[in-house]
Amino acid sequence: MGSAGTFERVDAAAEVIRRHCGDVPKAALVLGSGLGDFADTLAGAVTMPYAELPHWPASKVVGHAGRLVIGTVAGKRVAALAGRVHAYEGHPLSTVAFAARVMGRLGVKEIVLTNAAGGVNTGFTRGALMIIDDHINLLGANPLAGENDDRFGPRFPDMTEVYSKRLRRIADEAAVAKGLAVTHGVYAGLLGPSYETPAEIRYLRTIGADAVGMSTVPEAIAARHMGLEVLGLSCITNMAAGVPLEPFNHDDVLETTRRVRGTFIALLEGIVERL
């Protein structure tokens, strides 16, 4: 999806969603690997498969359902995106950021980006929930590269506060109210699809990363480019390579997200309630 015509494609998808959803949702939640069950909790839901939305890229990764659900939770109208596409599937980052841009054009002001991540911080355990304070972009590219369209945002957007302090505070308050333990950290975004080597994990820990994954960063950059407030949440589904030294695979990721489903949904409900 090149830069020419990107705005028009984004606008076309937003217009179709607007015609079907009624009231525009205040917030959007992008649900990562195995975390899409939250979409099933929305009341009065309108469901749109990605395949029925113009220009919308379809994910082929297990654990990403590929549907947009708009409904109500905790008295707030939200859009839940069950599934996303990744650069490792062969998509340029402008395509990876497409859904976040559509949410911005739809009128959403706050976006919650969730993911399944590997724990780099040795103090983490499987199933921990991490509020993202900042990220390190190691994807080798940026979704804003190429010709800038000023209708999305400025050529050189500031990234001093990618992840909103206000929304992070809300997430902490929601966790306390629900009696849930959360931690904070820095998320490193890598291309994938291979998991990291032990040497790479040692490098990531040295440069300040607490968790590592293959998503979120392009969406966060594109959302900030458009002026959206961003909150990032990682479910630590496995300890990264060398922590300890034992193999793991995508099934382990999905098993962990199934185990923490109730906790994760409770945290999201508490956050949405406070938006």
Residues annotated as part of the active site = 33, 64, 86, 88-89, 116, 214-215, 238, 250
Dihedral angle sign, alpha carbons of residues 207, 211, 214, 220: negative
User: What b-and-e string marks burial along 25-54, b requiring 16 or more CB atoms within 10 Å of the CB?
Assistant: bebbbbbbbbbbbbbebbeeeebbebeebe
Q: Residue 153: left (phi > 0), alpha (psi -120 to 50), or beta?
A: left
Residues 162/220, Cβ–Cβ less than 8 Å: yes
Q: Residue 96: left (phi > 0), alpha (psi -120 to 50), or beta?
A: alpha
261 exposure class (CB count in 10 Å sphere: 0-12, 13-18, 19+)? middle
Closest residue by Cα to residue 142 from 201, 210, 239, 220: 220
Look-up: residue for tokens 């911080």?
121
Token pair in block for residue 185? 């950290």
110 vs 49: CA distance, rounded Å: 22
Q: Name residue 62's amino acid.
A: V
264 vs 259: CA distance, rounded Å: 10
